Structure 1
């Protein structure tokens, strides 16, 4: 796809807006799970984010990904050391990430909380089962995704990526060894 967007004869009229040295990938669910395989296949992808997606394509032993990567998910599914298959997929990926990496988890949310669907649900009175309101989880998701891209594509450091923030007390920072979240 990047060849079609950035090659000598791009297929999209907006291709000139793409800055090839600042290409990153972020996705939710299966889109997020595809970020690591895409980065392994294409070195032009400088940074990646998996938002609440379980990877079925582990990084092969002997390979490492040295570019920045962010796992962003919910505590109910991705708490390190839980033994859940979803968590194990992130733990396996984590050990092959040799560059900058973080594992923030959001408390009181569900899978849909990381999408615009929760905003519609709030307006329509639909309950997805999350403790956090949709407006709050969308704000959290946007803040962390924006901070990650600013830091790794524009070289603008964001402290919110380095430690828990009083602005976002719902976000815990996790570590695999030893398994913990704070």
Structure 2
């Protein structure tokens, strides 16, 4: 599976999630989107900086980033699973069980990527506003999971997710809580103002993301995704008509 980080953030911002998925037997590819994060160093020593940052105030900026990432992901998949794969462990990848998750605009790019590349069987958006509307129905499994921000784009596009879907809101979470940063900053003594302390949000994210992929890639039943759990009272099941989200 591929993980796509937020704008300007490196792939390492999703290390905690990547490590957990790898420990469960998944092959995980974290992506640095060149010219979108502050700095990417190539093997030969060249450094690419954030060329896209100069356009961040453009009205269609979010849409352009999403379209760009929907090109990046298929390219990475081609490099990993094509006839001459660039990774020596490529034989471990099952091309029939490819998935994607992303945080912030990386999550927002997930449905567009799935619509462009049918190899991606299941997707997760972790707290990303859908700058680019889902204009045609997405029939494959999709999970929306985020902070209680009242994002109207999720409500707008909910009906266009026509396959298996869930919308989970985590009370006490903030936008960076679905990365490593909230947890690490708390360890350094900083407080971003979220209501979940220490590793609680990381534990929740790992548990629900793994349950989603185990269900849709491995066919293992996941009661956790059917209804609220007493073990995770912070997680609320939502829909456009819900009033508690």
When the two structures are superposed, what TM-score results if normalisation uses the length of structure 1? Answer: 0.89
The aligned residue for residue 142 of structure 2 is 69
The aligned residue for residue 96 of structure 2 is 21
The aligned residue for residue 11 of structure 1 is 86
RMSD: 1.3
CA distance in 1, matches of 2:214, 2:184: 28
- 1:129-150 Cα offsets, whole Å, 9 max, x none, are 1011140000000000000000
The correspondence of residues 1-182 of structure 1 with structure 2, limited to 5 A, is 1-60=76-135, 63-75=136-148, 77-78=149-150, 87-176=151-240, 178-181=241-244
Compute the displacement of 1:181 (Å). Answer: 4.0
- SS class of match (1:102): strand
Q: Is the 8 A contact 1:65 1:97 kept in 2?
A: yes
CA distance in 1, matches of 2:219, 2:201: 25
Q: How many residue pairs are counted as aligned between the two chains?
A: 170
- SS class of match (1:95): helix
- SS class of match (2:160): coil
CA distance in 1, matches of 2:205, 2:103: 11
- 1:73-92 Cα offsets, whole Å, 9 max, x none, are 011x13xxxxxxxx221122
CA distance in 2, matches of 1:132, 1:119: 9
CA distance in 2, matches of 1:109, 1:43: 32
Compute the displacement of 1:3 (Å). Answer: 1.3
Structure 1 unaligned residues grouped into runs of 5+? 79-86
Compute the displacement of 1:27 (Å). Answer: 0.6
Stretches (4+) displaced over 4 A: none
CA distance in 1, matches of 2:115, 2:244: 28
CA distance in 2, matches of 1:173, 1:134: 23
When the two structures are superposed, what TM-score results if normalisation uses the length of structure 2? Answer: 0.67
Structure number with greater CO (CA < 8 Å, separation at least 6) is 1
The aligned residue for residue 8 of structure 2 is none
